[in-house]
A and B are shown apart, each in its own frame.
Chain A
Amino acid sequence: MRAAATLLGVRAGDEIAPLARTVTQAQIDAYAEASGDRNPLHVDDAFAREHGFVGCIAHGLLTTAILVEAVARWAGGFDSVASVAVRFSRPLLRGDTITCTGQVTAVDAAAGTVSLAVAAVSQRGERVLSNGRAQVRLPRD
């Protein structure tokens, strides 16, 4: 991917392009298979309902992966992403749409890194990922 953002081109307060994605049960099933996390809360709707959810919920790390993709799209690729930290506040239900956002909080030109505050919400406005932070490595220009 072509580098989208540069150290000289970004400022604190800049926002990344939001990434909205509807997470289907097929996607959750595929993630369960590929990741090896087959917890029934993610893949067994009856089990999830017995445990107080409307239905299956997405893996927290699947929602994190979509957030990382949003950051990577802005930063110019996955290899630019240096770190991510999130709190799993609310579950994302199968069929829900997650919207991932980010805002630059600091630019460290000497270190070549940019820090962002990141978050993800559902279409109901529930905070799915909160207290989010990410850091990316960017080219100078």
Chain B
Amino acid sequence: MPTLDCEETPSHMPDRSHVGRTYRADGQVIDGERAARFAEAIAGDDGLIEPGVVPPTYAAVYCLSPTLAQLFGDAELGIGLAGLVHAEQEFSFHQPVRAGDVIDASVRIASVAERRGRVFLGVELEATRAGRPVCSGRALFVAAGGAP
């Protein structure tokens, strides 16, 4: 009969072997109506400063959202949305994105570190249009570790 090891590392925990893992969301068409609702949500009662222009941080929609959904749904990685904290964000905007543009997006795991029972996950993001970069950047997420 095998002994019970209470200190056993959970089977699903991100570690350095996951660095380089990449999640792609290619062929996304920028929806002008959705981008307008996004812009209106940011502006609130103040109104839009540039109606019809896609705000730069719409990268949250065409780059982060579809790729991170895959990352946080990756059972082998084992980081869920519960207790997840978005700690840092960097965006570089190389070219404006317009309604109708077709965007290929990816997120790559750049670093995994565990400190004080918490997992620090660094990712690099990139979005291109016809092979040319429109947006790139980095994000840092902090998740509760798997150990009790």
Contacts and interface: CB of A to CB of B under 8 A. Distances in A.
Contacts of B37: 30, 33-34
Interface residues of A, number: 36
Contacts of A84: 56-57, 89-91
A12 to B, nearest CB: 22
A27 B56 CA distance: 18
Q: How large is the interface on B (under 10, 10 to 19, 20 to 34, 35 or more residues)?
A: 20 to 34
B113 interface: no
Given A77-B53, A85-B90, A86-B89, A23 B65 contact: no
A11 to B, nearest CB: 24
For B46, B60, B61, B65, which residue has the most chain A Cβ atoms within 10 angstroms?
A: B60
Interface of B: 34, 37-38, 40-44, 46, 49-50, 53-57, 60-61, 64-65, 81, 85-93, 96
9 contacts: A34-B37, A68-B55, A77-B53, A78-B96, A82-B92, A84-B90, A87-B88, A88-B88, A131-B88
